Amino acid sequence: MAQHQDEPEDRTAPATPNVRAGSLLVSATDLVEPTFRRTVVYIVEHNESGSFGVVLNRLSDTAVGAVLPRWVPLAAEPKALFVGGPVRRDSALCLGTLRAGATADGVPGLRRIDGRVVMLDLDSDPHVVGPLVEGVRIFAGYAGWSAGQLDGELKNRDWMVLSALPQDLLVPVGPDLWARVLRRQPLPLALLATHPIEVERN
């Protein structure tokens, strides 16, 4: 039905927020399943076949040098593997942030995901891609959703879909990334950043 001039604009949010490569999935406060509790997931791919991404804030105790010594100079601090998710923990996936003004176009081993964020082929030469990136993060495993699965979780309000900043990928482990991402959102969403880690203690 056509909208009349004097009718207010419909400002209701779509039933399922728009997810795309480069989106952040920030776990809802009541998502308490241990694998994804207080996690921030960077979406690498999202299409009709499904979705996959990596958890940005789960540090492992395995040093990059223990498994991929060639990549130590490019690895952002702390130079350890991150646990990207529960799927294929025996495989590694590498993301990086391009330097301002650098491009991934035509560079072997680099695939642009969104903005300055790129995926790096770990078989490529770190000396070739090194000058183009500010740093890289290497993830063991990833988080994956089959076709329609993530839409179901979004309708269930398990996740908030937010925009990523290039620096989210390389932020040191010290700050609570979950709270940090929420804190920069407009109110009232920013208030969730103060949600206690252990609800039982409240």
Q: Which domains does the chain have, with CATH numbers?
A: 23-193 (3.40.1740.10)
* Amino acid 186: pLDDT: 87
Say which DSSP state 45 is in. Answer: E
pTM recorded for the entire structure:
0.87
Cα(109)–Cα(116) distance, rounded to whole angstroms? 15
Q: Which of 186, 180, 171, 198 is nearest to 26 (CA)?
A: 180
Burial of 176 (0-12, 13-18, 19+ CB in 10 A): middle
Nearest-5° Cα angle at 163, 162 to 165: 135
Burial of 141 (0-12, 13-18, 19+ CB in 10 A): buried
Q: What is the CA radius of gyration of the chain?
A: 18
* Amino acid 197: pLDDT: 62
Residue with tokens 């988080």: 143
Tens-digit pLDDT string for the chain (202 aa): 444 444 444 444 444 568 999 999 999 988 888 889 999 999 999 999 999 999 999 999 999 999 999 999 999 999 999 999 999 988 999 999 999 999 989 899 999 999 999 999 999 999 999 999 999 999 999 999 999 999 999 999 999 999 999 889 998 876 689 999 999 988 888 888 888 765 443 3
Cα(44)–Cα(117) distance, rounded to whole angstroms? 10
DSSP 53-116: EEESS-EEEEEHHHH-GGGGGGBPSS-EEEE--SEEEEEEEEEEEEPTT---TT-TTEEEEETT
Residue 18 Cα to chain centre, angstroms: 15
